């Protein structure tokens, strides 16, 4: 007879997400994860299959919580320029405050894609959702005359997502908002 899971799965996945975000996939052992999650290794394997399964679950959690919150803040912004600049600077601020840890999804793309192609779908879903939300904000802003309409909204959104990814990687090298903020200003000039 199967045993009932004796831990809060959501809380355990959140703790695993934090550990993967802090250390990365390779530097985090199953023992580290079990200890940080407050569960036994056997329970980890029973619930998630293996370290890779837990990592994919943690990435999904990141996608549905932190990445989704960034998109909501974008959609709730007063005007497109302010909303986009705020979203970019907020992501940079979080990355810098975490001492250059960057973004878990961008880190996954850099660290795991060559070794685990199943990560590609999760990373692509986050990137696509970000691009699509930005494209909608940009389409409306161009129609209302808030921004220039010289660029296709989809292409401009893809550019902003690419800049954001670069900023998050750069925050790992130079975790300093004052250094990164002028780069946001240059990216914002694409809206002119």
Give domain limits for the chain. Answer: 59-191
**Cα 10 to the center of its chain, rounded Å:** 18
Residues 32-52, mean pLDDT to the nearest whole number:
94
Q: Which residue has the higher pLDDT, 160 or 99?
A: 160
Tokens of 180: 């990164």
pLDDT of residue 59: 93
Q: According to the model, what pLDDT value does residue 78 have?
A: 72
Chain centre distance of CA 15: 16
At residue 23, does pLDDT exceed 70? yes
Q: How confident is the model at residue 24 (pLDDT cuts 50, 70, 90)?
A: very high
Distance CA 32, CA 19 (A): 8
Give the mean pLDDT of the chain.
89
pLDDT of residue 77: 62
Closest CA to 166 of 104, 83, 106: 106
Q: Once rounded to an integer, what is the mean pLDDT over residues 117-135? A: 90
Q: Is the pLDDT of residue 88 over 60?
A: yes
Q: Is it the case that residue 191 has pLDDT exceeding 90?
A: yes
The confidence band for 76, taking pLDDT boundaries of 50, 70 and 90, is: confident
The pLDDT value given to residue 1: 42
Q: What are the residue ranges of helices labelled H in 29-152?
A: 30-37, 41-48, 51-62, 68-75, 80-97, 104-111, 119-143
Orientation of helix 153-173 relative to helix 177-188, angle to 10°: 170
Architecture of the 59-191 domain = Orthogonal Bundle (1.10)
Share of the chain above pLDDT 70, in %: 94
Instruction: Work out the average pLDDT over 116-128.
Output: 89
């Amino acid at each position: 007879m199967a045993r009932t899971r004796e831990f809060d799965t959501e809380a355990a996945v959140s703790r695993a997400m934090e550990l993967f975000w802090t250390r990365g996939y390779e530097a985090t052992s199953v023992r580290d994860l079990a200890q940080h999650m407050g569960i036994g290794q056997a329970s980890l394997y029973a619930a998630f299959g293996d370290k890779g399964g837990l990592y994919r679950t943690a990435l999904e959690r990141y996608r549905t919580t932190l990445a989704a919150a960034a998109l909501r803040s974008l959609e709730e912004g007063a005007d497109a320029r302010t909303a986009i600049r705020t979203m970019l600077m907020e992501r940079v601020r979080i990355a810098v405050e975490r001492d250059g840890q960057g973004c878990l999804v961008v880190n996954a793309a850099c660290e795991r894609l060559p070794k685990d192609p199943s990560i590609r779908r999760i990373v692509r879903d986050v990137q696509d959702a970000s691009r699509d939300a930005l494209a909608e904000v940009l389409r409306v802003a161009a129609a209302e005359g808030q921004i220039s309409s010289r660029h296709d909204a989809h292409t401009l959104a893809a550019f902003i997502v690419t800049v954001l990814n670069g900023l998050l990687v750069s925050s790992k090298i130079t975790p300093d908002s004052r250094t990164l903020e002028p780069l946001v200003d240059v990216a914002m000039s694409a809206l002119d």
